[in-house]
Amino acid sequence: MPSIDQLVDAARAVRLNAHAPYSGFLVGAAIETPGGRIITGCNVENATYGLTVCAERVAIVKAISEGEREFVRIAIVADTDAPTPPCGACRQILWEFGGDLEIVMASLVEVKAMYRLAQLLPMPFDRRLLGSKQFV
């Protein structure tokens, strides 16, 4: 299994691939599967901002496109003094595919904070709330 340092290092490295010409705010994310595989993602901005995709969602979608369906933790790296948590949309997507996974927030030089997703998203909307519908 990768160490937290390896996960954070992967997020730091992919952060340099971010496309952030408008904000200049580069973010990298690295998500880990139960088998120890690390899949990375970076933020990709768009001039309309609404079509911008966060690093966490890029990592999740990339992992899903590569056949992964379970995750245990994610590292998020930004060049900030304070921890940079996932936005609301990312929290929802992370919950949907990772449940109460570990969230590691780091700067360019150190881990700033670690949380469980349930601490950041205490009342998630998920399939439990969809009633008696059958899921395939």
Cα–Cα distance measured from residue 96 to residue 120, given in angstroms and rounded to the nearest whole number: 14
Report strand pairing: 27-32 vs 102-106.
unpaired
Cα–Cα distance measured from residue 28 to residue 106, given in angstroms and rounded to the nearest whole number: 10
Active-site annotation, residues:
56
* Helices 55-65 & 88-98 angle (0-180, nearest 10): 30
Alpha-helix runs per DSSP H in the chain:
4-15, 55-65, 88-98, 117-120
